[in-house]
Amino acid sequence: MITIYGIHNCDTMQKAIKWLDANKVPYTFHNYKTDGISESSLRLWLQHFPASKLINTKSTTYKALTDEQKASINNPDKAVDIMLQNQSIIKRPVWDLGTGSFYLGWNEEELSKLIL
């Protein structure tokens, strides 16, 4: 079963969910704004994606970080702390494809190849 992580009111998340529904792909949605996100999930994701990709460096949340915090995102422990404190800084969506593989972001063509 696919689990898709993100924030429900995000435009990209809404596209992804609409696409999953249209293609009748079973999935679970984990809203880390309301359900939180675990440190273990973040550490697992950091095994698959560099922190500089997992943290949305174009977000207003990232831009509000101090220069010291921005400089520390390549340190896994500090990146986890930043993401735990600011879930909206995590790039969306994060896809757990249920097969031990993960995908980050939204690209319909790539996801079609992986899922359909």
Query: Catalytic residue positions?
Result: 10
Residue with token string 């790539």 = 110
Identify the burial level of 64 via C-beta atoms within 10 angstroms of its C-beta, where 0-12 means exposed, 13-18 middle and 19 or more buried.
exposed
Are 91 and 36 spatial neighbours (Cβ–Cβ below 8 Å)? no
